[in-house]
Amino acid sequence: MATALMAAATTSCSPRRAAPLLKPMASSSSSPSSARARRPLAQQLPRLLATAAAAVAAAPLPALAEQMEKAALFDFNLTLPAIATEFLLLMVALDKLYFTPLGKFMDERDAKIRGELGDVKDASEEVKQLEEQAAAIMKAARAEIAAALNKMKKETTAELEAKLDEGRRRVEAELVEALANLEAQKEEAVKALDAQIASLSDEIVKKVLPSA
Amino acid sequence: MNITPCSIKTLKGLYDISGVEVGQHFYWQIGGFQIHAQVLITSWVVITILLGSVIIAVRNPQTIPTDGQNFFEYVLEFIRDLSKTQIGEEYGPWVPFIGTMFLFIFVSNWSGALLPWKIIELPHGELAAPTNDINTTVALALLTSAAYFYAGLSKKGLSYFEKYIKPTPILLPINILEDFTKPLSLSFRLFGNILADELVVVVLVSLVPLVVPIPVMFLGLFTSGIQALIFATLAAAYIGESMEGHH
């Protein structure tokens, strides 16, 4: 439609045809102003317009009509089922190549990621369990150590006491023995003194009572 | 006065490059039926782009995704999210339909805006986005209708048709009408938007060849994406609507 109008415009305004029309205009404007010279211009203007109008009217309208006839915007034919079939085939192909495989792949990956996240959560629980276990073990170990320490302390004390007892007993025994020894020596000394006393008293008597 | 014709000539030259031919088709005859070859060709290109990129990116999925795989995983999650929002928990079987709908329309629309189809010259008509043709959009819309009927019937059996007399039998004509307006609005919305977008770009390019059309082109890309999203969302919404229980 627009093509036809444009074509008309170019044909009517082509320089070849415009040149002769321009000549009188140029001569009239260059000539000194006179009523006679001005008149042709005034007469030519309608003629100019008429030729232009004729050109527009003659050339484009049949072309326009022809194009309007040929132009088929709403031209339904085999293209419709052809495109529908193409679309259905494309749908099947895209489903096989794209939607189903990639969708499945993405779902599987999602499931995997979710599973791994779940595993991580489980692992944290496991860690907690292990920590509790470790604490329990530590507690038990501490209790054991305390018990062992206590036992050892008791044993050591008992041993020490036993040794102490033994030592005391030995000391006592030695003491008793020493005392007994001393007693015996005393008795011996007393006996010896007794004997000496008798002889001494005899001698004293002899000395004091001479030849009495 | 000499400047005007010349600039018009230049413009015409540019216009011939960027000229739009609305409703012009390159016909093939197949078994007595006519077919729009330009639509078929561009749709093949779109399908090739889709399948090719998918095969390259998803051929060997990695646990830690590479760039391409990452992109397609993002797309898949987007489609799943969209289906789940509209259909509900039983969205799984509908992901391929909604996804293909979205991807096909999106790549088609963007191919119209980004691929230099004009380089390939056809005997008649021109290559453009497949969604630029009413046949394509109507085909997709009718498939959507079939899909939501199938969804409803397979979920509820014949009691699916009870929805026509709900909440009151007075609404029966309107409910029946809805089944016609749904594909109609779907197809015409997409068709109109894409055609209008391409026309606006072409007309602007023909008027001002440089710089000025660029914002409109970006707007066109935006519109194309939005239209693909709208079509897929509405298709999912219709399917979800026919599956949900009105109890």
Helix/strand/coil (H/E/C) assignment for every residue in B58-127: HCCCCCCCCHHHHHHHHHHHHHHHHHHHHHCHHHHHHHHHHHHHHHHHHHHHHHHHHCCHHHCCCCCCCC
Distance from CA of A98 to the nearest CA of B (A): 6
Tell me which chain B residue has its CA closest to the CA of residue A70: B24
Cβ(B105)–Cβ(B231) below 8 Å: yes
Q: What is the pLDDT of residue A10?
A: 40
pLDDT at position A24 is 42
CB pairs under 8 A between A and B: 150
Residue B97 confidence (pLDDT): 92
CATH number at residue B198: 1.20.120
pLDDT band at A5 (very low <50, low <70, confident <90, very high): very low
Structural domain contains residue B166: yes
**Would residue B138 count as lying in a domain?**
yes
Decide if B104 and A100 are in contact by the 8 Å CB cutoff.
no
Q: What is the mean pLDDT of residues A103-110?
A: 89
Q: Which of residues 38-77 of B touch A (CB under 8 A)?
A: 39-40, 43-44, 47, 50-51, 54-55, 58, 61, 63, 69, 72-73, 76-77
Report the pLDDT value the prediction gives residue B9, as an integer from 0 to 100.
Answer: 67
Residue A76 has pLDDT above 70, yes or no: yes
For chain A, positions 65-84, list CB contacts with chain B under 8 A.
70-84
Spatial neighbors of B118 by CB under 8 A, at least 6 apart, are: B17, B18, B126, B127
According to the model, what pLDDT value does residue B165 have?
Answer: 85
**Per-residue confidence (pLDDT) for residue A28, from 0 to 100:** 41
Q: Which of 143-202 (B) contact A at CB < 8 A?
A: 143, 195
The CA distance from B145 to B238, in Å, is: 8
For testing the chain B interface, which of A17, A23, A98, A116 should be mutated: the one with the most B CBs within 10 Å?
Answer: A98
| Touching A: B residues 90-119, CB under 8 Å | 95-97, 99-101, 103-104
Question: Domain of B74?
Answer: 66-245
Is there a contact between A79 and B133 if contact means CB atoms under 8 Å apart?
yes
* B30 touches A at CB < 8 Å: yes
Coil/strand/helix, residue B39: helix
The pLDDT-based confidence of A47 (bands split at 50, 70, 90) is low
B2 belongs to a structural domain:
no
Query: Would residue B77 count as lying in a domain?
Result: yes
Dist. CA B41–CA A55, nearest whole Å: 39
* Cα-Cα end-to-end distance for chain B: 76
Region A18-40 average pLDDT: 43
In order along its 247 residues, chain B shows pLDDT tens digits of 455 565 666 656 555 554 556 667 777 888 888 888 888 888 999 999 999 998 888 888 787 888 888 898 999 999 999 999 988 888 888 999 999 999 999 999 998 888 777 777 777 777 788 888 888 899 999 999 999 999 889 888 888 888 888 788 888 988 899 889 999 999 999 999 988 888 888 888 888 878 888 888 888 899 899 999 999 999 999 999 888 875 4
Residue A54: pLDDT band (50, 70, 90) is: low
- Determine the Cα–Cα distance for residues A185 and A103; give it in Å rounded to an integer: 120
pLDDT digits (tens, 9 = 90+) for A81-95: 888 999 999 999 988
Report ipTM (2 d.p.): 0.83
Residue B94 lies in a domain: yes
Q: How far apart are CA B65 and CA A19, in angstroms?
A: 70
Over residues A40-61, the mean pLDDT reads 53
| Chain A nearest-CA residue for B141 | A84
Q: What is the pLDDT of residue A21?
A: 40
Query: Can you tell me which residue has the tokens 């085909």?
Result: B139
Q: Determine, yes or no, domain membership for B56.
A: no
Do residue B24 and residue A90 have CB atoms under 8 angstroms apart?
no
Total domain count for chain B? 1
Asked, for residue B92, whether it belongs to a domain, the answer is: yes
In a domain, B178, yes or no: yes
